[in-house]
């Protein structure tokens, strides 16, 4: 699959916006949706933890995955940030073309 969604969680809206802007400014994604606050429960270092988080959904291409991971890891407050890629198996062809055109037109 050529196109992917990157699902990322952050500690708050400020960090979500910072990461979204970095991904966009570095031409790694075409669009980012920043969702509302969610409650996350997870096992971390042998303990059940709870945290309020803000999620991002970023639209990109598979070829950008490694660079997205690197950008998020370098700029995220978490020791082990959630960055998961989901393949896009279909969708509106005009929108999918827009993702590719946007990423290609900004390449230097």
Q: Taking each helix axis as running N to C, give the angle between helix 65-75 and helix 13-25, from 0 to 180 degrees, rounded to the nearest 10.
A: 140
- CATH architecture designation of domain 3-105: 2-Layer Sandwich (3.30)
Q: Any idea what the Cα angle at residue 53 is, between residues 47 and 57, rounded to 5°?
A: 125
CA distance 58 to 60: 6
One digit per residue, pLDDT tens: the chain, 108 residues?
A: 699 999 999 999 999 999 999 999 999 999 999 999 999 999 999 999 999 999 999 999 999 999 999 999 999 999 999 999 999 999 999 999 999 999 988 654
Strand order in the sheet with 31-44: 31-44, 47-61, 3-10, 83-87
């Amino acid at each position: 699959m050529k196109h992917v969604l990157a699902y990322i969680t952050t500690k708050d809206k400020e960090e979500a916006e910072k990461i979204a802007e970095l991904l966009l400014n570095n031409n790694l994604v075409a669009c980012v949706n920043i969702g509302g606050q969610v409650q996350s429960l997870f096992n971390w270092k042998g303990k059940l933890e709870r945290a309020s988080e803000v999620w991002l959904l970023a639209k990109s291409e598979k070829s950008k995955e490694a660079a997205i991971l690197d950008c998020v890891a370098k700029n995220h407050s978490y020791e082990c940030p959630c960055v998961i890629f989901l393949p896009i198996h279909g969708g509106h062809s005009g929108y999918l073309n827009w993702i590719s055109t946007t990423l290609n037109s900004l390449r230097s």
